[in-house]
């Protein structure tokens, strides 16, 4: 099949170019060679600096905290954000940005070249909008984990549950702006820090009450699940602290729900005899840990209990709280308000 064009001009031009090159003076030859090398280097640099074909645009890329410049390059290369670790090191040092690199989560809405990537990371331009998450009073650590798993891209719930395993009761329920990619342990620290900040306002009442603060938090977590209004919480706190002082089992139903890992649960007669540290029917004293994360109101109610002649309480099907001085009166309330 004949070619659609003639190769004769090319065949003629190549020998002519060689003849022209060798006719130059040594100095001009050197200039031509250097020029060619410069062009080749420029092409190589352009290729190395260009974004890889598999550049992960619109995806969350996480760079762990305390990552050094060398690891930055390795992570970015592995994530297909840059082509060359060496080029990253050289350019970041030349621009004096190698010490400004900021870890965290990033999203690149479009592929960027090497210089653009370095600039974004050095200036902490993460490209991610924080997400508003609300944790309500009475949520457990697992509830909070479920909420974040459903709404926070890239969130690792098992990692969070491990990090928060000793923080039940101390993760303050509030609305937070959390950036996707935030390390799970950092979220735990933030919620615990907020807890410390909030309770500072009621420190005088806590100190005046005089009980171990850990007990106060456990009681507050019970109040969060057992009562609704502040006056009711204070009344129930007075009853439960009195039962503890008299070595009477608390008989708190909400503890069974926590032991089962569910939000709501009505214990059966069989449940009240199970072998569990959260069985407040057979065990005297407080449960071993908080059963929820209480709000400030419940903590304040726990340390400012209302004195009363009552030893029993229940929430009736009418939604109201009913109190009793004796077990006989309590049984009558059960018959009247629960059946």
Q: Can you spell out the DSSP letters for 112-140?
A: --HHHHHHHHHTT------EEEE--TT--
Provide the CATH topology of domain 60-122: Dna Ligase; domain 1 (3.30.1490)
Q: By C-alpha distance, which of 164, 187, 173 is closest to 105?
A: 187
Give residue limits of the domains in the chain. 60-122, 131-199, 203-337
Under a CB-based contact definition with an 8 Å cutoff, are residues 244 and 315 in contact? no
Tally of CB atoms within 10 A around 324 = 19
Under a CB-based contact definition with an 8 Å cutoff, are residues 88 and 72 in contact? yes
pLDDT tens digit sequence for 117-161:
888 888 888 888 889 999 999 999 999 999 999 998 878 999 999
Q: By C-alpha distance, which of 121, 185, 190 is closest to 159?
A: 185
pLDDT tens digit sequence for 82-125:
888 888 888 888 888 888 888 888 888 888 888 888 888 888 88
* Tens digits of pLDDT across the chain (339 residues): 444 444 455 445 445 545 555 565 666 656 656 665 666 565 655 666 688 888 887 778 888 877 877 788 888 888 888 888 888 888 888 888 888 888 888 888 888 888 888 888 888 888 888 899 999 999 999 999 999 999 988 789 999 999 999 999 999 999 999 988 888 999 999 999 999 999 999 999 999 999 999 999 999 999 999 999 999 999 999 999 999 999 999 999 888 888 887 766 677 777 777 888 999 988 899 999 999 999 999 999 999 999 999 999 988 888 889 999 999 999 999 899 887
Q: What is the pTM of this model?
A: 0.73
Helix H or strand E segment including 177? strand 175-178
Q: By C-alpha distance, which of 169, 144, 295 is closest to 224?
A: 295
- Round the CA-based radius of gyration of the chain to a whole number and report it: 34
Burial 116-132 (b: 16+ CB within 10 A, else e): ebbbbbbeeebebeebe
Helix H or strand E segment including 324? strand 321-324
């Amino acid at each position: 099949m004949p070619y659609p064009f003639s190769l004769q001009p090319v065949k003629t031009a190549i020998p002519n170019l060689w003849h022209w090159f060798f006719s130059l003076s040594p100095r001009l030859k050197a200039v031509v060679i250097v020029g060619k090398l410069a062009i080749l280097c420029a092409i190589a640099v352009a290729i190395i600096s260009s974004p890889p074909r598999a550049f992960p645009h619109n995806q969350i890329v996480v760079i762990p905290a305390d990552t050094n410049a060398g690891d930055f390059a390795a992570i970015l290369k592995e994530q297909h954000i840059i082509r060359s670790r060496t080029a990253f090191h050289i350019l970041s040092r030349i621009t004096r940005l190698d010490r400004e690199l900021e870890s965290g989560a990033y999203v690149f809405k479009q592929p960027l070249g090497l210089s653009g990537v370095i600039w974004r990371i050095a200036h902490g331009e993460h490209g991610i909008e924080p997400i508003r998450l609300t944790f309500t009073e009475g949520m457990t650590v697992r509830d909070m984990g479920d909420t974040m798993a459903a709404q926070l891209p890239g969130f690792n719930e098992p990692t969070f549950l491990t990090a928060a395993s000793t923080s039940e009761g101390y993760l303050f329920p509030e609305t937070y702006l959390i950036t996707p990619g935030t390390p799970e342990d950092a979220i735990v620290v933030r919620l615990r820090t907020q807890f410390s900040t909030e309770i500072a306002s009621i420190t005088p009442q806590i100190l005046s009450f005089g009980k171990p603060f850990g007990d106060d938090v456990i009681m507050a977590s019970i109040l969060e699940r057992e009562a609704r209004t502040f006056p009711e919480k204070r009344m129930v706190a007075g009853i439960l602290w009195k039962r503890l002082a008299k070595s009477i089992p608390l008989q708190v139903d909400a503890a069974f729900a926590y032991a089962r890992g569910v939000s709501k649960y009505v214990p059966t007669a069989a449940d009240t005899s199970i072998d569990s540290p959260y069985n407040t029917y057979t065990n005297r004293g407080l449960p071993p840990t908080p059963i929820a994360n209480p709000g400030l109101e419940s903590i304040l109610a726990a340390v400012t209990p209302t004195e009363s002649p009552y030893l029993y309480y229940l929430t009736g099907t009418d939604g109201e709280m009913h109190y009793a001085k004796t077990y006989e009166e309590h049984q009558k309330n059960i018959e009247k308000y629960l059946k």
